């Protein structure tokens, strides 16, 4: 049987939006994120991070630094008894930087490449899955990948929700204060009661 997943954005969603994280010490995981991921682990949902890190293409930092930052994130979640099943990132940019990172890839969100890659590897039922993020582009990503969209008001969320929503082409299925509140609602929704 195919599994359900909650895909989540990184900056502004599981951790603070601080601009480019060009040093691991700038990285701050939200205090509620371990509980959110632990809830997903306990309820049998795959918990998968998907993030654009075009700072690599722009020459602001290396892929090694992304690895260090994600190591920090995983250790912090582990201290809270939580575990991500996978972390996927796109380091590309279509027009900026040097080859191989200057590249019109299929994985720069809102393109669905990262989610498609995960769906193949973990045999995920995308229609029963969610994408959680703090930008409108995360909602577009959900549409492009065929998941449901949950919008959080952390990070850029509140500003986008209050000032830019009028221009949105798609509405999210769920709006929540933050990752934990979104996850609480998602894990409580029985399969059959959620529209696909
Ligand atoms: Mg974000
Ligand atoms: Zn990419």
Q: What is the pLDDT of residues 93-131, one digit of tens each?
A: 999 998 999 999 999 999 999 999 999 999 999 999 999
Q: What is the mean pLDDT of residues 80-102?
A: 96
96-103: long-range contacts, CB 8 A cutoff, minimum separation 24? 96/54, 96/57, 96/58, 97/54, 97/56, 97/57, 97/58, 97/59, 98/57, 98/59, 101/56, 101/57, 102/57, 103/57
Q: What is the mean pLDDT of residues 158-167?
A: 98
State residue 196's pLDDT score. Answer: 44
Does pLDDT of 33 surpass 70? yes
Q: What is the pLDDT of residues 8-25, one digit of tens each?
A: 999 999 999 999 999 999
> Which residues are in the CB-under-5-Å shell of ion ligand 1?
9, 11-12, 134
Q: Give catalytic status of residue 9 as yes or no.
A: yes
Cα of 195 vs centre of ligand 2, distance in Å, is 30
Q: Please tell me which residue in 11, 85, 134, 138 is annotated as part of the active site.
A: 11
Q: What is the pLDDT of residues 47-57, one digit of tens each?
A: 999 999 999 99
Cα of 137 vs centre of ligand 2, distance in Å, is 15
State residue 167's pLDDT score. Answer: 97
Burial 100-112 (b: 16+ CB within 10 A, else e): ebebebebbbbbb
């Amino acid at each position: 049987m195919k599994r359900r997943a909650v895909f989540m954005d990184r900056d502004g969603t599981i951790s603070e939006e601080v601009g480019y994280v060009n040093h691991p010490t700038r990285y701050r995981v939200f205090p509620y994120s371990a509980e959110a991921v632990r809830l997903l682990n306990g309820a049998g949902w795959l918990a998968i991070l998907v993030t654009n890190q075009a700072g690599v293409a722009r020459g602001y930092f290396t892929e090694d630094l992304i690895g260090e930052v994600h190591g920090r994130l995983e250790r912090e979640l582990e201290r809270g008894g939580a575990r991500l099943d996978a972390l996927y990132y796109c380091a590309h940019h279509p027009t900026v930087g040097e080859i191989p990172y200057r590249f019109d890839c299929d994985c720069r969100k809102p393109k669905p490449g990262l989610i498609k890659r995960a769906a193949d590897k973990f045999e995920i039922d995308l229609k029963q899955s969610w994408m959680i993020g703090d930008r409108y582009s995360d909602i577009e990503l959900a549409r492009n990948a065929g998941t449901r969209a949950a919008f959080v008001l952390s990070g850029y969320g509140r500003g986008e929700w209050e000032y830019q929503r009028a221009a949105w082409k798609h509405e999210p299925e769920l709006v929540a204060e933050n990752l934990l509140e979104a996850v609480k609602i998602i894990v409580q929704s029985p399969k059959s009661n959620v529209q696909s």
